[in-house]
Structure 1
Amino acid sequence: MTEAAVLSEVSGGIMTITLNRPDKGNAWNGPMARGYFGLLEQAAYADDVRVILVTGAGKAFCVGGDGEKLAVVARTGDIKSAAEQPYWFPLSIGKPIIAAINGACFGIGLQQALVSDIRFSSEDAKFSTAYARRGLVAEMGMSWLLPRLIGTGNCSDLLLSARLVRAEEALAMGLVNRVVPAADLLTEARAYAEMLVTNCSPFSMRAVKQQGFADLTRPFLESFDLSKAMLDEAFAAPDFKEGMASWQEGRAPNFPALPDDLAIIDITENR
């Protein structure tokens, strides 16, 4: 029996998702796309999941599109989406997604890392947009995401050259949040996830994830006014009462799970 292209495990409020084609560098294909997005949706609605951690099996995170499929596309010109969900789908998940990048992160692998919320990198990870060296364009929102994360100059550099970027340079330009020794990658990423599970309100994390994305294209005063309205709602919500009580009583908070109606963020709306 062929092993699943994506594996998952839930423990301590964290769903760990592993891209699982190590003999192919976790190259992206249809089963992986459907499996990964399906698990993200499952995690979004699961009361026992508050944070999602994604990594790759073996020595790579994801080397990009599956070479065999791309060869067929080059020969026939016939391409079909590998997934039922749009490739920005992780942005709509109402829970934090942490990418633990354990090796090569190229093409669609990099795009999926960028639509995660936090990126931990092993010290031996490497990154490339890849597209210009395959005669392609910046796909799946890459030309929108990259300049907002690393600035227009760095974006032009990475997209035009498709050169290899090592972990420390990726950190310096803001492509990743943290670089750690390879042996400590999952431990460090999981410790960060556990910190979110223990201390942070699911309602608040969902709200700030929604705000952070929408405000990238929203005028400042509009953002300011909307945040005031959202703050009024937050003051009346149970999470604020529990957050204050736990702080005053010197104990860990016991925040409620995210309700189903907040599981998915509609990023097509301004709010």
Structure 2
Amino acid sequence: MSEEPIQDRDQDQDLVLYEVDEDGVATVTLNRPERKNAWSIPMERRFFALLDEAAEDPAVRVVVITGAGRAFCPGMDVQRLEQNAQPGQSLNLQARVPMYSRRNMPKPLIAAVNGACAGIGLVQALICDIRFAARGARFTTAFTRRGLAGEYNMPYVLPRVVGLENALDLLLSGRVFDADEAKELGLVSRVVEPEDLLDAARAYARDIARNCSPRATAVVRHQVYGDLDRDFTGALARSYSAMEFFAGSPDFREGVASFVEKREPKFEGLPPDFDPDEATRDAFLPY
């Protein structure tokens, strides 16, 4: 498949919008509403560059991802699908950004799925830690209905979110399901009326930004994803190392003091060079 950008307004930096509020919540908005935020390669580059910017900015504590208009992202732009379907095309992923590379991002990612979410758009929702959805939003894996296998590692990720049989149902059938079913399946954790969606996701993100230690959330995220494929003993050792890392730390002292004094904590922002692996690198068991 050719990966040369389609020549349209995709060259514009406004493909993905970015703003940070005073509480340290960054909002990243897919912004091709005239195409229902259909995914393109320039959008992909811009999107992941902004996630990198958020990761490196100490002022940013939590990131909310959403779409402009009435859709989140319905998948790859049909123009590219048509281009890639031509005989003789070969797949070249060398110029692409690895889809799940930002699972190593040290800051919480919150999805606010405001509408259609399919294919590679669903992948972007799945890289997030918590997913809010607007009531009536529609989801589909879509791949088999486009003559494709499970792309972007979704056959690995989806069973870990919704369970084996539910994942096979969604992947094999490629059927459409709505936000309420997505919640029943465990694909999203909150379903909100459309007009309240972004406010609800930002309020949740703001609560984390105001009340949780950025170092602690970075390490917890690192623990959860890193431990998915570890055995119990290995995960336990990393947990004890993290306990030692935070014992007596400025964040722990501030967390306790703010609780005792019944005030909002004042945790420092996350330094750009903070490595969550530092908290678990020298794993040990005390017995």
The alignment's TM-score, normalised by the length of structure 1, stands at 0.94
* Structure 2 match to 1:70: 81
* Structure 2 match to 1:101: 113
Q: Deviations over 1:226-253 (max 9, x none)?
A: 1011110111322111111111111100
Matched, 1:160 2:172: yes
Query: Size of the alignment, in residue pairs?
Result: 269
* Structure 2 match to 1:23: 34
Structure 1 vs Structure 2 CA RMSD: 2.0
Higher mean alpha-carbon deviation, 228-237 vs 91-100, is at 228-237
Matched, 1:213 2:209: no
The alignment's TM-score, normalised by the length of structure 2, stands at 0.89
What is the CA distance between 1:262 and its match in structure 2?
Answer: 2.1
Gaps of 5+ in 2: 1-7
Whether the 8 Å CA contact 2:62–2:108 is kept in 1: the answer is yes
Match of 1:11 among 15, 21, 44: 21
* Structure 2 match to 1:114: 126
* Structure 2 match to 1:169: 181
Higher mean alpha-carbon deviation, 212-221 vs 155-164, is at 212-221
Matched, 1:37 2:51: no
Whether the 8 Å CA contact 2:222–2:276 is kept in 1: the answer is no
What is the CA distance between 1:205 and its match in structure 2?
Answer: 0.5
Amino acid at match of 1:174: G
Higher mean alpha-carbon deviation, 82-91 vs 197-206, is at 82-91
* Structure 2 match to 1:57: 68
Greater Rg over alpha carbons, structure: 2
What is the CA distance between 1:97 and its match in structure 2?
Answer: 0.7
Gaps of 5+ in 1: none
Whether the 8 Å CA contact 1:34–1:83 is kept in 2: the answer is no
* Structure 2 match to 1:142: 154
* Structure 1 match to 2:5: none
CA distance in 1, matches of 2:124, 2:41: 14
* Structure 1 match to 2:242: 230
Using a 3 Å threshold, how does the CA distance of structure 1 residues 74 and 93 change in structure 2: closer, same or farther?
Answer: same
Match of 2:193 among 178, 181, 186: 181
What is the CA distance between 1:270 and its match in structure 2?
Answer: 11
* Structure 2 match to 1:90: 102
Q: Deviations over 1:184-210 (max 9, x none)?
A: 000100110110011111001000100
CA distance in 2, matches of 1:119, 1:85: 22
CA distance in 2, matches of 1:64, 1:93: 23
What is the CA distance between 1:215 and its match in structure 2?
Answer: 1.1
CA distance in 1, matches of 2:181, 2:148: 24
Amino acid at match of 2:65: V
Give SS of 2:210's match.
helix
CA distance in 1, matches of 2:276, 2:64: 17
CA distance in 2, matches of 1:217, 1:191: 32
CA distance in 2, matches of 1:194, 1:109: 24
Whether the 8 Å CA contact 1:55–1:99 is kept in 2: the answer is yes
Give SS of 2:82's match.
helix
CA distance in 2, matches of 1:210, 1:270: 15
* Structure 2 match to 1:246: 258
CA distance in 1, matches of 2:124, 2:276: 17
Higher mean alpha-carbon deviation, 106-115 vs 237-246, is at 237-246
Amino acid at match of 1:247: F
CA distance in 2, matches of 1:263, 1:85: 21
CA distance in 2, matches of 1:20, 1:36: 10
Whether the 8 Å CA contact 2:33–2:69 is kept in 1: the answer is yes
Amino acid at match of 1:226: R
